[in-house]
Structure formats: structure tokens, C-alpha cells
Amino acid sequence: MDNKLKFDFRDLAKLITKIENDRLGAEDVLKNIYKENSETVVIGITGPPGAGKSSLTDRIIKEYRGLGKTVGIVAVDPSSPFTGGAILGDRIRMGDHATDPGVFIRSMGSRGSLGGLAPATIDILNLMKSSGFDVLIVETVGVGQSEIDVMSIADTVLLVLVPGMGDDVQALKAGIMEIADIFVINKADKDGVERLVAEINMIINLNRHRLEWEPPVVKTVATENTGIKDVMEKISDRDIWLKNYGTNVKADRLSSQFKQMALDRIGGNILAILEERGIFQNWTLEFSAGRSNPYKALKELDEKLKIEWSDK
């Protein structure tokens, strides 16, 4: 283990497991060790399957290690919706770092965590941030809402695309395109690169009026180490930009992060209370009997909460 790091890897790994299995229990630990570390760079890497995200991550780790920085990685792969099992294979591409004491890699199944992917990932990243890593990388596959939520905790989001996706880019446009801070076109030695660049530029232009940071487009062939320096340069540009103009971005993120955590907690608690007191079940019965409906019930719930809050 690198001496800058506060935890033994085995302890860190066990805490992560605790977060995945027992978030409430883990909170007791987190509240004591949490440290807002503004020096830590948090990078999100996402994109469709087969885009070469893990190869890119591997190269980025190498670059940071070359600078002597410690790197923590959380790689999320989808779990089977039927069995809850998962095959987590992102480490294959990062094999060179398995014995490096300055690199910690953790694979996660998207459904392996209680209470949703995003809250657990936030906790894990907060834990790793507090343990003193210089750089954190979170890698997710795909374009679902929960992946977008995960990406909301990154300072810089790399969206990795490959040429030859055709109309898929159009389909990606909603949501995922907007979270990209840097577009990486990987496998840029394949046909169709220019077309993809043009499409991305079009989308950037459409959104330009509401962008503070204009996302650059970088071409790479990660497996051949081509274009990686450019990626690093853009990440560092983004970093400088965040330091100069991005105080709002960082503050916004902290506040939206906490909002999400709070929502998750309060919502969960209220539901638990309603279920405990049998109110929830009762409402459901009323609905089916036609004596009430969800909108009436919401109104009622509103009233109840107002009373509870004002009491305190």
C-alpha cells in the first residue's frame, strides 16, 4: 500500500462490502471518517458495451501512476435481473495494475447493492476519497438512469463512443450526451470516425447556448496507447476550469448529492413507518375497494407530514 493512503487495502475492501450489504451500518463508520477532499479528482467513464472503456481506464491509470498519483477505481457491470448474479470482467483489461500498491480496483454488480446503485456508489467513492486517493475513477456500462445518477458524482465525465454505431448516437442523445464533459472516440482507426465527430459536434452546437464548459472531442485507440495524452490534457483542462470557474459546479454537486442521499433516506424512512403502522397496506386495500385512490391518499399523506413536522 502506498503510504499516502489511510487504509489497508483489506480493511478498505471490507468496508466497501459493508456498504454494499448493510448501508445503514456502514454509515456509522462513514460519518466518522468522511473528509471532503477537494484535491481528489473524480473521473466518470461511461459508454455503450464494447466501446473500450476498460482499456481506456487502464491507460489513464498508467498515466496517473507515471505521475506518482494513487488511483482508486470502481467498475460497475450489470447484474442479471433474473438471478441477481453477475460476471464482473473489467479487471481483465487492468491486469497490469493488480500488483501495484498504489492502485485499488473494485468491481461492483449494478444490483449487488441495497438501496440502489447510485447511493451505494456515492458512499463507496466517499469512502475512497476519505482514504486519500489522488484520483478516483468510476466506470459504468450503458445509458440507464442509474448510470447517469452515478455519473453525477464525477468532476469530469468521459463518454466513450466508437465509430460505426450509426443511428445509435441519435438514440444516446437524450440524457447521456448531456452528461459528457469529454467525448472520447475510441477505436478511431476504424471507418466512420469523421461521421461520428460530425454528429457529436452537431449535438454540442445544439446545446451550446446552455453549456458553460464546451466538451472537447478526443480520438483514441486505447489498445495501442494512441491519443491517451490528449485525453489527459483535456482532463487537466477541465480540472483547471473547475478550479477557476467551477466552484458552482462543485457546490451544486455536493448539494445535489446530499439531496439524493436525503431523499433516499427520508423517503425510505417514511415508507418504513407507513408500512410499520399498516397505513400503507390499508391504503392499498382502499384503492382496490374503490373507496379511495392514490391521489386522495397523497393529499392525506401531505397533511399528515405537515402536522408531524410542525409538531417538532
Distances (CA, A) of 195 to 52, 82, 169: 19, 38, 11
Task: Indicate if the alpha-carbon torsion angle 266, 250, 48, 13 is positive or negative.
Answer: negative
**98 sits near other proteins (criterion: CB under 8 A):** yes
CB 244 to other proteins: min, Å: 35
Half-sphere exposure of 252 (CA within 13 A, CB side): 9
Determine the Cα–Cα distance for residues 217 and 100; give it in Å rounded to an integer. 31
Determine the Cα–Cα distance for residues 52 and 161; give it in Å rounded to an integer. 8
CB 47 to other proteins: min, Å: 15
**224 sits near other proteins (criterion: CB under 8 A):** yes
**112 sits near other proteins (criterion: CB under 8 A):** yes
CA angle, residues 240, 214, 246, in degrees to nearest 5: 40
CB 108 to other proteins: min, Å: 8
Q: Which is nearer to other proteins, 79 or 156 (CB)?
A: 79
Residues 248-277 that bind other proteins (CB under 8 A): none
**81 sits near other proteins (criterion: CB under 8 A):** no
- Strand ranges of the sheet holding 135-139, from the earlier edge strand across to the other edge: 103-109, 71-77, 135-139, 41-46, 156-161, 182-185, 217-219
Which H helix or E strand runs over 94? Answer: none
**146 sits near other proteins (criterion: CB under 8 A):** no
CB 240 to other proteins: min, Å: 32
Pick the binder of other proteins from 68, 95, 166, 175 (CB under 8 A). 95
**106 sits near other proteins (criterion: CB under 8 A):** yes
Count of residues that interact with other proteins, criterion CB under 8 A = 37
Q: Which is nearer to other proteins, 106 or 219 (CB)?
A: 106
- Strands, E, within 98-181: which ranges? 103-109, 135-139, 156-161
Question: Radius of gyration over alpha carbons of the chain, in Å?
Answer: 22
Pick the binder of other proteins from 6, 63, 69, 88 (CB under 8 A). 88
CB 180 to other proteins: min, Å: 23
Check residue 208 and report its DSSP letter: G
Which chain residues interact with other proteins by CB under 8 A? Answer: 9-10, 13-14, 16-18, 20-22, 50, 55, 79-80, 83-89, 91-93, 95, 98-99, 104-107, 109, 112, 190, 223-225
